């Protein structure tokens, strides 16, 4: 089995939210494209966005976990940077079946470029750390020191060399958030590579256009992207996941959906704090 193969149900939910989505998912960072110049990252010190995670199987859709994305200004090895953090924990039924407490941290220079990322998986009796350190040669070549270890042993310690837009599992969200909406149209594709363990996994975002997302009593104007993943670990490479980005100045993920072998994992916006701009993508319905 490959080093990044995913464990049963609990890990499948995590993969959908952080791995599939932001290998997708909740994903990756060189913030400029060959033919499209990206905007400055739309971030604010102290930004926080909370999400609810669900496991969907037919008409059944129990809540499976909670996730929080947060941003703060920081420094990495003396370099002014953004610190992008994802916290995930199971809840409800999933908490009883497969308890998880996972954390991902990314540091981006103000250019921005991904400098370092760390994923710490805490699943009860199982603790694993994945660290990735990025160095760059020119605009389209990255050298990544990948180290995976447990408290008992080092499992991976290797160097990866990638071309093009190379990210970690979380950084792809930054890639999406940096895109200039006025410069893209339906059908546009954005290829990228994700570094995981010993592997470089090829993927792409495909933009389809504007969509309205509804969840409970909330409605949002969004930009919709499919995520295609070209790797044998995923049974369905095309449209392995989808992400809906809020159509306003903040560009925050509003909904994420990842297909699983049984059912799907879905992630929905719950609340936010200290955004750079008002959340104008939310549609306010006037009560009669």
pLDDT number for residue 20: 40
Closest-CA residue to 98 (of 107, 89, 109):
89
Q: Following DSSP, what letter does each residue of 238-282 receive, concatenated? A: TT-EEEEEESSTT--EEEEEEE-SSSEEEEEEEEEES-SS--TTB
What integer is the mean pLDDT of 196-223?
A: 90
Query: Is residue 235 domain-resident?
Result: yes
pLDDT number for residue 262: 75
Contact 203, 228 (CB under 8 A): yes
pLDDT number for residue 3: 41
More confident residue, 173 or 152: 152
Query: Is residue 119 domain-resident?
Result: yes
Query: Is residue 192 domain-resident?
Result: yes
Query: Is residue 187 domain-resident?
Result: yes
Q: Which of 5-9, 45-49, 183-187 tops mean pLDDT?
A: 45-49
Query: Is residue 188 domain-resident?
Result: yes
Residue 54's domain comprises 9-273
Query: Is residue 279 domain-resident?
Result: no
Contact 121, 128 (CB under 8 A): yes
CA 111 → CA 1, 80, 161, distances in Å? 38, 10, 21
**pLDDT (tens digit per residue) in 15-27:** 444 344 333 333 3
Contact 38, 56 (CB under 8 A): no
Query: Is residue 284 domain-resident?
Result: no
Overall domain count for the chain: 1
**pLDDT (tens digit per residue) in 27-79:** 332 222 222 334 466 778 999 999 998 888 777 888 888 999 898 999 999 98
Q: Which residue, chain included where needed, has tokens 């990756």? A: 28
According to DSSP, the residues that pair with 116 across neighbouring strands are 107, 133
Query: Is residue 28 domain-resident?
Result: yes
What integer is the mean pLDDT of 244-256?
A: 90
CA angle, 60 then 56 then 196, to 5°: 160
């Amino acid at each position: 089995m490959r080093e990044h193969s995913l464990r049963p149900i609990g890990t499948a939910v995590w993969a959908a939210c952080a791995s599939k989505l932001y290998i997708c998912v909740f994903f990756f960072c060189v913030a400029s494209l060959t033919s499209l110049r990206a905007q400055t990252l739309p971030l604010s010190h102290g930004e926080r966005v909370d999400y609810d995670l669900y496991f969907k199987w037919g008409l059944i859709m129990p809540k499976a976990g909670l996730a929080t994305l947060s941003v703060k200004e920081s420094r990495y090895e003396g370099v002014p940077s953004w610190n992008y953090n994802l916290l995930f924990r199971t809840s409800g039924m999933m908490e009883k079946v497969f308890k998880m407490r996972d954390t991902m941290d990314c540091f981006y220079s103000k250019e921005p470029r991904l400098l370092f990322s760390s994923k710490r998986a805490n699943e009860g009796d199982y603790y694993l750390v994945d660290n990735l350190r990025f160095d760059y040669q020119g605009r389209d070549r990255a050298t990544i020191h990948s180290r995976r270890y447990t408290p008992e042993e080092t499992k991976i310690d290797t160097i990866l060399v990638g071309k093009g837009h190379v990210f970690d599992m979380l950084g792809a969200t930054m890639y999406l958030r940096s895109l200039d909406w006025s410069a893209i149209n339906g059908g546009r594709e954005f290829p990228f590579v994700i570094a995981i363990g010993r592997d470089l996994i090829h993927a792409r975002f495909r933009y389809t256009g504007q969509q309205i997302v509804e969840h409970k009593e909330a409605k949002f104007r969004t930009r919709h992207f499919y995520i295609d993943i070209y790797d044998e670990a995923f049974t369905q490479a095309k449209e392995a996941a989808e992400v809906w980005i809020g159509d306003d100045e903040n560009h925050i993920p509003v909904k994420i959906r990842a297909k699983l072998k049984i059912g799907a994992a879905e992630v929905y916006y719950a609340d936010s704090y200290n955004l750079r701009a008002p959340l104008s993508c939310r549609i306010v319905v006037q009560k009669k």
